[in-house]
Every structure is written in structure tokens, then in C-alpha cells.
Structure 1
């Protein structure tokens, strides 16, 4: 066989192999399961077209389910073998259980997974941190959104310390034009999520305290865990009339109509306020106790994407998740959904001013996640749900901070035995 003929044979074989791979992918359709049904347009108009520019040979279909129905529907589909190839993963136990049942594949071999921090991967890793089963996508950040017109009228600026925070609230209350702070306790979870979990990390020192609680080295009755409740109890005098009957949508409306000055926030509210508020807004992180203290923010893991372990399109699914771990995906996702921030360590250029303010705190404060979410809410009573209840009670004045802490720790002690 001549050398030129050998080259021709090898070239033909390579072309055939490439055609075979391309043809195999062309026969694959990746279906994405998710609870984010409000993201359908974003996936169809931005995310999928961007992926197909790089991988035109792989078809992707976004197939969401209503948030309240997602867990049950997904479990049924996985058990029946009818679930999609890509699974949107809620953080911690719901997804961990799927992995432990062999329904989610490990993503340890996905290129780029090593770039994510341990905190970013915590929501979708085994307790020992050795195996990650979903590629982190985005987090939400807690802080305070404020009405700039209200601040200008009263002559105050965003507070940096706890004392400045309450001084601002006093001035707003004395002025009387605006409800100083916008929070209701009817639904309970806001008092915990936008209250206790928002300001608490500055007292228990973020990950240091959270991990110490899991290990049993700290208790919820320790001063650093009780003090945020003492601060929270002071909020009541600045809330609107009837705040005990105020539900979450009521709080959103009160602020977006320009009637309140400060809104204890989750960054997911940014998009709605941008579309509804007719005034300029700003944001500030949870104030530290005193000047010079290290600041901490709740930068809570929210959503990730994993692979159905029984998918028949494993290679195409891995190709898609490799792209999800890229800076291109991070930029598209973060800008399409202001307030949902990429968990990648690389800088993402955001276009929304309020979102840029929130994410800038990552460079000046230390990130942590909500203290109740990993491991500590697996038993009964459920620590997360109990925290909702006592946080609302503390704001309402029906439970003291010390009694709230004792109740939480007693509930935890009844079923949780830290590994020694």
C-alpha cells in the first residue's frame, strides 16, 4: 500500500468517525427538567441558542414544571424512567437523596467543576465533600434594598454599622413620610430568611459559625446566635401598621409603590422591583456591629444542573454541563436573570445596576450560606421551619430572643447528634 493511499484511507476513516460522532449527537435531544417555569422564554431565546452556536449538533428542550409540583413530579418521572436528561437541582437534601438513590450522576469529571469553591459546591455535594453531583449555576444574595428618594428626603445615607442602621430608621420614623422598614410576619419565612439569616452571619462569622454549629462546637443558645434575634426584636417599632397580617406579596407591593424606605431583601426581588418601582433604588449589605468588623453576606446557593444517571445521552449531557460550567453561560444566565448570581469564581460583567451592587459585596465581605440548610434540617422538628416560626415570634414580641434560641437548640438536640 502506497503512503499516499494510506493517507487517503486514514483521512476517510477520520471523516467517517467525525460524521459518526456528529450523527450520534444529531440523534440526541437533551430535555431539561426544572422548577423555574418563569425562565422558559430565557432558555428558548437566549440560553439554548447560545449553546447551539457552539454545539449545533445537540438539540436542547427546556421542560419546566410548576415550582410547588416539581419535586414530586421529578421523583415520579425518575422512578418511571421518563425524566429528562438534565435535572435542575435544588440545594442540599432533595438532590442529595436523588444521588444516593443512584438517580443523579457524579459530575466530578466535568471540565471546570474544579473552579467552583467548596461553598458553591456545598449544596450539591456529599456530606464529606468528595463527590459533587450537580454543576452549580447561581446563588441569591441577602441585604437591604432602599428607596433613594426616601433617603434623600430625610438626609440619610446607607448605613455601615448597626448603630447607623438604627439611627437611619429613627430619622425615617420621625419624618413620617415612609414606612421605615418593610417586612411582614404573616408568612413567617421572611422574618427568618430576610431577617435572621440576612443579618446573622455578621454575628456568628459566616462559615466559621455555620460549620461549628454542624460539628457541635457551637450551639444556638451561644451569644453569637442569640444576638441577631435581639437585633431583630428591635425591628418591630419601624415596621408598618398591621405588619403581623402582612404577607410577602403585600411587602413587595408596599415597597414597589414607594411607600417604604428600606426593604430587607433577597436579590430575587430585583427583577420585579425594576419592572414596577417608579423611583431610584440602591442596596447595602447587612451592617456590621462596629467599624472595622469583617462583614459577611448570605450568598445562598440556589440552583444547579445535574445529569440523570439513567439518561441515554450521557456524552451529550456532559458536553452541555461542560458549557454550563463556562464563563459564557455564567454571563448569559446572570444578565438574563438579575439577582441570580453565577457561582463561578470568575468575574461576570453585569448590566443591571442593582444586581451589580449586590454582587460587589463578594469582593468586600465573606460569603456564607443559610445556617439551617445543610444537614441540620433533616430531622423532626425541622430546624428551618422552626426558625421561621421563632423569628416571626421574636419580631411580633411573643417570644424572647433567649427563649427562641432555647427552643431551637432543644429541638435540634432531640434528634441531631454531631459526629465527634
Structure 2
């Protein structure tokens, strides 16, 4: 504020019986996405401030690995920012339960989000929503278009076509058919089991039935994806057991592998590293004509610090996050992180557009283990990592894995007992 403005404000405070003239309000955003700093500074904040004079915004991220601890310390000390970037599900729910996040259900633009979009930032009964959804990531397969053309492989739509394509690449020998390893474990579950699985358990229908205790992990729709994963081992290349996540990324971007089981978060990095044209295809259905399901996983949102002294201005910002303007800016600045709003956001990146187009063709769901089912011990998400690796390596049968997971879940989760 200039000296002149300050004098005017002080005079107003002294001479008038009413309130002082409003000063610019400065909102501070807490986040773990420190790689987004220039995006916020150069694109998002200027767009908001241009249409909302009187409100300034500062983006103040922490290192990702330190965010939870730093944020909790600030919240406990009363020094946290006005706006809190929210991880999905339990971490943010704990903040709401502790009184750190406000209920933002009443914001006008919350109507622009589906129940699935909001599910990662709601109470279990859905009565309160405490963060405005920003973006999701979509699972599928990224492929080397030049390799497909060279070997004469068609983009698969069904599982039969998928394995026929893998067989053709294996027979040709020029490319590793599938670029994925099992060393880091999480990829086998995230880009394996929870990538192909929704087509078996019918997305939200199966996921919610598991939460309610109406389905079990020993049911065939939950076991069958492990049988399919067991077939992948023939196509992962020599030494896949020791292959790390970065190894797999490098194999694909260097042009040595034909297909990469993927999340859309890879798009920006792959665009920078690969010198060949890429395409994407959704998880193949079991039979032609089947309804397709995709993991359109809720990833990031933003909420209101319940102790913020600038709550009205913060709500104005949060409502704008629910707008079409924000959705368009964010989704195109970070291709592969897709708006969770109902707006039809045009994507400039062709690979990102291919991923997001599946929303119009398939039913969307989220990763099966993320809501409620991983709160106890053993943790179902982490157990699914190990089970997916065991399925691929063939060290345990799909049926045995289903029983182990079911027994673990039932040991602490009452609806499954």
C-alpha cells in the first residue's frame, strides 16, 4: 500500500464513526506442489487478481515430503495460510475432523462437481465437503505410435486384442512389449491392478459395494484382475523384477518399449523426453461392446483454513477455483492433471485430450483402496502393492491373494466381518 493510501485509510479510521475503507486482502496458499510455483505466479494468480480487485494471492509451497508435517505445525501454531491445498481422502479428512478445514459445501460453484469428484474431500456420510476439487489423473496405456506402425499393430480395444498386440511385439523382438517393473511395487498396483480392475468390478458399483460389505475381495470380480496381471510377466522384458519406476520411464522414452502402463501425470515429462509420437488407449474391456470403466482418480483440491481471518475473500477465491476459467487455465498448464469440474475443457495437448476424451465414453471411478478401506492395519492399499507384484511374478495364485487381502481387511473393518 502506498503512503498516500495509508494516510487516507488512517484518516478514515480516525474521523468516521463507520468502518475504515477496505484495504487489499492478501490470501496465502499452502501447498506441496512446489513444482507449480511459476504456474501460479505467472498464470493462475494474475487471472484471478485481474477479475477480483482488492484481493491479492501468494502461493507459498513446502517440499512435498515435508508438507504434512509443516502444515500440521502451522495449523497448530495458528500461522497457516488462508487456503490449504488438500491431498485426497484421509489426510484431509483428519484436518477437517480436527477443526482445521471449513465446510465449503455452500459455495455456488460446488454444483459444478459430481459426487465422484467430491468424494475424496467429503465426510464419510457425504454431509460436508471441505475442499474444492482441482484435478484428477486418469489411468490407461501410453504407446509408441511409430513402434505400432513399424510392427503393424492395431490399437487394442479388448483384452484379447491387447494380448495379441503384446504377442506381436514379443515375436518381432524390436521392442519390449510392456515397460513396467516390480521393484518399487506401487506401479504394479497403481498402473496394473487399479488400471485394469475397474472393468472387472464395474467401477463405482464394485468400489462402493466393497465399502458397504456387499462384495468381498474373494469375489471373482476382485480376483480376476490378478489372473490377468499374471499374464503380463511374459511381456515385461528381462530383469523386470529389479526394474525401478525411473527405469521403466527411461525404457519407454528412449524408444525401447512399445507400451507403457500409465497415469496421465507422465504426459509432461514424456513430451519433454520422447522424440517419437505417442498415443494413448484406455484399459481394454473383456469383451467387445462391454461398458468401459476408467480410473479417473481424484488427486488435488483446495480448502479454507477454518481459522482464516480473511474467510470471505478466501471463499471468493475458492468459488473461482470452481469456475470454467480456472479449470481451463490449470488443465492446459499441467497437461495430464484434468479438471474435475463438469465443464468441457478443451485440451491443447493431444495426448492429454486423448486421455480426457474417455470420460465421454466410459464410467469414471477412483482407486478402489483409497477411501475408508486403508485406514486400518493391515493397510489395504499397501497390501495391494505386494499382491499385485506377487500376481505378476506368479509367486501366489490370484485366489490366494484374494483370500489374504480379504482376511486382512476383515480383521479390522467391521462391514467386512
**Hey, what does 2:112 align to over in structure 1?**
115
Structure-2 change in CA distance of 1:49 and 1:159 (3 Å): same
Corresponding position of 2:316: 319
> Normalized against structure 1, the TM-score is what?
0.94
CA contact (8 A) 1:181 1:263 kept: yes
CA distance in 1, matches of 2:337, 2:68: 21
| 2:269 aligned partner | 272
Cα distance in 2 for partners of 1:71, 1:400 equals 38
Determine the C-alpha separation between the residues in 2 that align with 1:107 and 1:236.
46
Separation (CA, whole Å) in 2 of partners of 1:72 and 1:244: 33
Segments of 5+ residues of structure 1 without an aligned counterpart are 1-16
> Aligned match of 1:297 in 261, 279, 294?
294
**1:364 corresponds to which residue?**
361
Task: Give the Cα separation in 2 of the matches to 1:418 and 1:409.
Answer: 12
Take 2:30 and 2:393, find their aligned partners in 1: how far apart are those partners? 40
- Does the Cα contact within 8 Å between 1:25 and 1:316 map onto a contact in 2? no
How far does residue 24 in structure 1 lie from its aligned partner after superposition?
3.0
- SS of the residue aligned with 1:98? helix
In structure 1, what is the equivalent of residue 123 of structure 2?
A: 126
Where does structure 1 differ by over 2 angstroms across 4 or more consecutive aligned residues? none
Cα distance, 1:303 vs structure 2: 0.4
Q: 1:67 aligned to 2:69?
A: no
CA–CA distance in structure 1, aligned partners of residues 291 and 261 of structure 2? 20
Aligned to 2:414, the other structure's residue is in SS state: coil
Question: Secondary structure of the residue that 2:95 maps to in structure 1?
Answer: helix
Q: Distance in 1 between matches of 2:126 and 2:329?
A: 28
CA distance in 1, matches of 2:104, 2:411: 35
Q: Is the 8 A contact 2:27 2:57 kept in 1?
A: yes
Q: 1:386 aligns to what? A: 383
* Unmatched segments (≥5 aa) in structure 2: 1-15
Deviation at 1:20, TM superposition (A): 6.7
Partner residue, 2:138: 141
Verify: 1:208 aligned to 2:220, yes or no.
no
Q: Contact 1:334/1:340 (CA < 8 Å) preserved in 2?
A: yes
Structure 1 position 341 matched with structure 2 position 338: yes
Change (3 A) 1:123 1:162: same
Aligned to 1:3: none
Counterparts of 2:414 and 2:113, CA distance in 1 = 30
C-alpha separation between the residues in 2 aligned to 1:211 and 1:61? 39
Q: CA deviation at 1:56?
A: 2.8
Counterpart CA distance in 2 for 1:262 and 1:272 is 16
* Counterpart Cα distance in 1 of 2:191 and 2:47: 35
Q: TM-score, normalised by structure 2?
A: 0.95
Q: Deviations over 1:83-140 (max 9, x none)?
A: 1110000010100011011100000121110221000000000111111000011000
Structure-2 separation of matches of 1:358 and 1:180: 21
Partner of 2:305: 308
8 Å Cα contact 2:216/2:416 also seen in 1: no
3-state DSSP class of the match of 1:258? Answer: coil
Equivalent residue in structure 1 for 2:22, among 17, 20, 24: 24
Taking the TM superposition and a 5 Å limit, the aligned residue runs for 1:20-419 are 23-24=21-22, 26=24, 28-418=25-415
Q: Is the CA contact (8 Å cut-off) linking 1:219 and 1:409 kept in structure 2?
A: yes
Question: CA shift at 1:163, angstroms?
Answer: 0.1
For residues 191 and 25 of structure 1, what CA distance do their matches in structure 2 show?
A: 53
Whether contact under 8 Å (2:86, 2:302) holds in the other structure is: yes
Residue number in structure 2 paired with 1:14: none
Query: What do you get for the CA RMSD once the two structures are aligned?
Result: 1.7
d(CA) in 1 for partners of 2:242, 2:27: 45
Task: Give, in whole Å, the separation in 1 of the partners of 2:117 and 2:236.
Answer: 34
User: How many residue pairs get matched?
Assistant: 403
